[in-house]
Amino acid sequence: MRRLQRTLKEPASFSGVGIHTGNQCTVTFKPAPIDHGIVFVRTDLKGNPEVPADIDNVVELARGTTLSCNGVKVCTVEHVLASLAGLEIDNAIIELDNNEPPVGDGSSLQFTEAILKAGISEQDAVRNILEIDTPIYYSEPERGVDLVALPSDDFRITFMVDYRNPALGTQYTFLASLEEEFVEEFAPARTFCFLQEAEQLKDQGIIKGGKLDNALIVCDGQPSPQQLRQLGEKFGIEEELFVGKSGILNDKPLRFPNELVRHKALDLLGDLALIGVPIRAHVLAARSGHAANVALTKKVKDFYQKKKIAKRYQQREIKEGEYFLDIEAIMRFLPHRYPFLLVDRVIDMVVGKKVVAIKNVSVNEMFFLGHFPARRVMPAVLVVEAMAQTGGILLMHSYPEPGKKLPFFTGIDKAKFKKPVVPGDQLWLEAEVQNRRQDFWKMKTRALVGGEVVAEALLSCMAVEKESWD
The whole-angstrom separation of Cα 387 and Cα 39 is 37
Check: CB of residue 2 under 8 Å from CB of residue 115. Answer: no
Nearest to 309 by CA among 349, 355, 356, 354: 349
The whole-angstrom separation of Cα 270 and Cα 260 is 16
Phi/psi for 117 (5° steps) reads: -65, -40
The whole-angstrom separation of Cα 29 and Cα 41 is 10
Query: Alpha carbon of 246 to those of 249, 251, 252: distances in Å?
Result: 8, 6, 8
b (16+ CB within 10 A) / e for 99-133: bbbbbbbbbbbbbbbbbeebeeeebeeeeeebebe
Check: CB of residue 202 under 8 Å from CB of residue 191. Answer: no
Neighbours of 341 (CB within 10 A): 17
b (16+ CB within 10 A) / e for 213-223: ebbbbbbbeeb
- Give 182's contacts (C-beta < 8 A, 6+ positions apart): 86, 87, 112, 175
Neighbours of 317 (CB within 10 A): 7
The maximal CA–CA distance of the chain, rounded, in angstroms, is 93
Angle at which helix 78-86 crosses helix 109-118, to 10 degrees, equals 40
Question: Catalytic positions, please?
Answer: 290, 371
Check: CB of residue 1 under 8 Å from CB of residue 76. Answer: no
Residue 341 carries which side chain, given as an amino acid letter? Answer: L
The whole-angstrom separation of Cα 238 and Cα 248 is 18
